[in-house]
Amino acid sequence: MANKKRRTVQKPGDNKKVLSSVRLTGMTFAIIETAVKILFYAMLIYLVATGMRSAYKFGYRVFEKDTGSMTGRAVSVSITEKTKPLPLGKALKEQGVIEDAYVFYAQYIFFSYKFQPGTYTLYSNMDSRGILDVLSGEVRIEGP
């Protein structure tokens, strides 16, 4: 019988134990609530910082000239009146001519390029702004 717990019956006026457990529960919820808020704000700060870093890197690539892959491989591209810059950028990325189709598209929009219809030979050592110059007819390059 030593292992059995004794049960006590509380008297109606004896609320000390009940109140202390309520306070402990309320304090526990306050601690959990504060921890969740701290975790939420830490995650929010992390996401904002990560987004800012990504936006900076993207903007840097848009305005800074890149060098491409420097292999000098030739790629022929045909441009029509219906050619859209983003699908063209994705196709050039797949062929290894440019590094990022979205940087290509942002440069097309920001620097107000307009494609001129025709067939062009592009080289993988050209940067994306140089490619846009060629495709808009501003620069003419001679093949080998």
Total domains present in the chain = 2
- pTM here is 0.68
pLDDT score at 82:
92
Report helix, strand or coil for 74: strand
pLDDT score at 8:
58
- Give domain status of residue 101, yes or no: yes
Can you say how many angstroms the Cα of residue 124 is from the centroid of all Cα atoms in its chain? 26
Whether residue 82 is found in the same domain as residue 56: no
Q: Which residues, given as ranges, of the chain have pLDDT below 70?
A: 1-24, 66-71, 141-144
Whether residue 87 is found in the same domain as residue 108: yes
Q: Which CATH number covers residue 120?
A: 3.30.1490.480
Range of the domain at 113: 74-135
Burial of 136 (0-12, 13-18, 19+ CB in 10 A): middle
